[in-house]
Amino acid sequence: NAGVTQTPKFRVLKTGQSMTLLCAQDMNHEYMYWYRQDPGMGLRLIHYSVGEGTTAKGEVPDGYNVSRLKKQNFLLGLESAAPSQTSVYFCASSPPDLGEQFFGPGTRLTVL
């Protein structure tokens, strides 16, 4: 099993460009999450999903959109990238009980 995978691993964008980050999991988990990690701050939740076709806002949702059309995939979109969105983005998935979250390897995004 691959676990949780993220595409791409690195990306550089110019201000105003758009892009989509893809997260895929093969563990049949119901719940999926997108986080961002910035220096000196803990991981912060951007959006999450508790099942196929559902999404909800986390702590820092502004400037991002998400979709969960298939259970195994969770997409994070930036419609008009800003330098403040320079960060490392982690996707995670978990079963619907108190189970642990499994993290992807991260995507390092730089917005110039």
Write out the residues near another protein by the rule CB under 8 A: 31, 33, 40-45, 48, 50, 58, 90, 92, 94, 96, 98-106
Number of Cβ atoms within 10 Å of the Cβ of 101: 16
Closer CB to another protein, 17 or 58, in the complex: 58
Q: What's the min distance (Å) between Cβ of 62 and another protein?
A: 17
Q: Which of 55, 63, 58, 104 is nearest to 85 (CA)?
A: 63
Closer CB to another protein, 22 or 43, in the complex: 43
110 forms beta bridges with 12
Apex 1 CA angle, 26 and 96, nearest 5: 40
Q: What's the min distance (Å) between Cβ of 89 and another protein?
A: 12
Closer CB to another protein, 17 or 101, in the complex: 101
Residues whose CB falls within 8 Å of the CB of residue 100, separated by 6 or more in sequence, listed in order: 94
Q: What's the min distance (Å) between Cβ of 72 and another protein?
A: 18
Closer CB to another protein, 3 or 16, in the complex: 3
